[in-house]
Structure 1
Amino acid sequence: MSFSRKVKDELVKKDFTVTGKEYKITSVDNEQSYIRKYLRDKFLEAGSVTDPNKDYHLEFICQNQDDVGKIMAGLQSFGLHPKTTERGKHPIVYLKDASEISDVLNIVGAHSALMDFENVRILKEVSENVNRRVNFETANINRTVRASIRQTEDIRLIQEKLGFKNLEPGLREIAEARLRNPGASLEELAAGLESPIGKSGANHRMRKLARLAAELRSKTAEE
């Protein structure tokens, strides 16, 4: 059974039926109940909502622009932001924002379907957050590995061509620390020095080593 069918079956069980009646608002107090009833009937008549496991999309297929105007106005009265398009000869009023689709299900009285929709939405958001976190951590690890490989290559070149004894103490310390800990992050290297420094200080030293390695490579190429 489609998600739209579940919503409509729930509404029908609550004795909400399509009447085709023109709703005329006669008082401010009754305005929302009339609008809810109108939107409920229009959804039963020609509405649909996509299974939230696949996508977020709720729409009303309209017969004419008068329908479009009334449905748009009804949804907007609840603070929603519907959009319009056309499919074949029929204008369509639709929403794609998950929170606004939840609001519509609540407005028309499909509370059981609303709970199902929100459960799927929460699980999807949790899964997306976990994936974003994993991707972020993976990117950080990859950056650390690439930086470590590049720094290690520079340091070994300096060790071979110049020797650590010719480096100033701070550069020698960070260079030796990198060779001892090729997989460590810059923060870890900085914190593990005999006199711990900040990440910016460690980065400054690594940049000086990189410039020195570049100079050594340039000299080698000229020889």
Structure 2
Amino acid sequence: MALLDDVKSELATIDSELPAAQKAQATAMIRFGGGLRLVQRQIIVQAQFDSLDAAKWLQTSIKTLYGHDATLTQVARQTPTGMVQRYLVHVERGGAALALQTGLLDRRKMLVKGLPSEIINGNIAQVKAACRGAFLAHGSLSDPGKASYLEIVCPCNEAALALVCMARRLGVTAKHRQVRSSERITLKDPDAIERMLLIIGATRTAHEWTGKRSDGEARGKANRLANFDDANMRRSAKAAAEAGDKVRKAFEILGDDIPENLRAAGQLRLDHADASLEELGRLADPPITKDAIAGRIRRLLQLADKTVKARGQQA
């Protein structure tokens, strides 16, 4: 349990995320930590955690992100192995408003059983944050030296499927299985576990977990994979930032004189700065291939260049 406490404490200290990512994490923590209850025709939001740091993060975020007061109480729970402490975050006044703000209630005020599609299909930062929130709420990690696993208990089948989909977007294959009456997402491959820990921000714990594994060859391979991923992420982030700057400049040059399909493609690039071309294609309405989205952005930039040259000749 000490390692699990460490990883959750580490994840709860991450505060450099954009508001959209913070909201995705808070929503996942509420969904995987408990969710919504109807008491005397009023919606109450509550979530229970085994980590005090995780509970404090959610309590603070509910106030700063959504403007609602949440209470934090410590509760004792009897288990087959003895008494354990749990931490309950509870929002009673404004629970319905918070549920709507987080997307756990849709516009028709119907319960969203899994996670909102805006998160599942959101940008990569939102997906990472949602996976982090699910792990903070109901995740577990094996101790080094034992059979490797990373597992998240899910409140329902829809939530499990959402988590599988988001893990796939992050390049991690997660197995969905049912154990007795609970739905679970499980990783057993050590490289996949380390990759997931790194992705959700548990860098220190990932290195500690890997470093304690007895197989030195596997440890070296995992470290090389982490370095390779970090380099790719830096290159991808730099390329996406440069593309965003070019699109922004093209919008300034062309003004309103832009074909709608090119404008839509450029706006997707600006709205999802860290998404890949394949992800941008999926976010398009209707969805298109990555080659198509790349072609539209390229034509937008070419149109801006032609416009600049034409204005220069006229001058």
**TM-score, reference length from structure 1:** 0.50
Alpha carbons 2:155, 2:182 under 8 Å: kept: yes
Contact 1:61 1:93 in 2 (8 A): yes
Aligned-pair identity (%): 22
2:118 pairs with 1:25: yes
Q: 1:120 to 1:110 in 2, by over 3 A?
A: same
TM-aligned CA distance change 1:96 to 1:27, over 3 Å: closer
CA positional deviation for 1:27? 11
Aligned residues of 1:25 and 1:34 also touching (Cα < 8 A): no
Q: 1:19 to 1:64 in 2, by over 3 A?
A: closer
Among 111, 122, 125, the alignment partner of 2:215 is: 125
State the Cα deviation string for residues 95-130 of structure 1 (Å, max 9, x = none).
100000001101110111011012123xx11399xx
For the pair 1:37 / 2:129, whether they are aligned, the reply is yes
- d(CA) in 2 for partners of 1:73, 1:48: 19
**Do residues 102 (structure 1) and 213 (structure 2) align?**
no
Q: What does residue 65 of structure 2 align with?
A: none
**Cα distance in 2, alignment partners of residues 46 and 66 from structure 1:** 16
Which of 138, 156, 168 aligns to 1:64? It is: 156
Bigger radius of gyration among the two: 1
Asked if 1:4 corresponds to 2:4, the answer is yes
Contact 2:120 2:166 in 1 (8 A): no
The whole-number CA distance in structure 2 between the counterparts of 1:95 and 1:41 is: 17
For the residue of structure 1 that corresponds to 2:148, the secondary structure is coil
Structure 1 residue corresponding to 2:185, chosen from 93, 96, 107: 93
Q: Distance in 2 between matches of 1:27 and 1:86?
A: 22
Instruction: Provide the residue aligned with 1:84 in structure 2.
Output: 176
Gap runs ≥5 in structure 1: 129-223
How many residues were matched structurally?
126
* Structure 2 residue 49 is the aligned partner of structure 1 residue 49: no
Q: Give the Å deviation of 1:84.
A: 1.9
In the TM superposition, residue 19 of structure 1 has moved relative to its aligned partner by 4.4
Q: Which runs of 5+ in 2 are unaligned?
A: 16-24, 32-101, 104-115, 219-315
- AA paired with 1:92? R
Once the two structures are superposed, the pairs formed by residues 93-172 of structure 1 within 5 Å of their partners are: 93-121=185-213, 124-126=214-216
Q: What residue in structure 1 maps to residue 275 of structure 2? A: none
SS class of match (2:152): strand
**Partner AA of 2:118 in structure 1:** I
In structure 1, what is the Cα distance between the partners aligned to 2:134 and 2:173? 17
Shift of 1:86: 1.8
Q: Which protein is richer in helix relative to its size?
A: 1
Question: What is the SS of the residue equivalent to 1:86?
Answer: strand
Q: Which residue of 2 aligns with 1:14?
A: 14
Report the alpha carbon displacement of residue 78 of structure 1 after superposing the two structures with TM. Answer: 1.8
- For residues 64-113 of structure 1, the C-alpha deviation after alignment (integer angstroms, 9 at most, x for no partner) is 11111110001111222211222231111101000000011011101110
1:131-157 CA-partner distances (Å, limit 9, x unpaired): xxxxxxxxxxxxxxxxxxxxxxxxxxx
- Structure 2 residue matching 1:25: 3-state secondary structure: helix
TM-score normalised by structure 2 residue count: 0.36
Answer whether contact 2:161 2:176 (CA < 8 A) is retained. Answer: no
Are the structure 2 counterparts of residues 127 and 40 from structure 1 closer, same or farther at C-alpha, using a change threshold of 3 Å? closer
RMSD between superposed Cα atoms in Å: 2.7
Q: Which residue of 2 aligns with 1:212?
A: none
Q: Hey, what's the Cα distance between the residues in 1 that align with 2:120 and 2:2?
A: 37
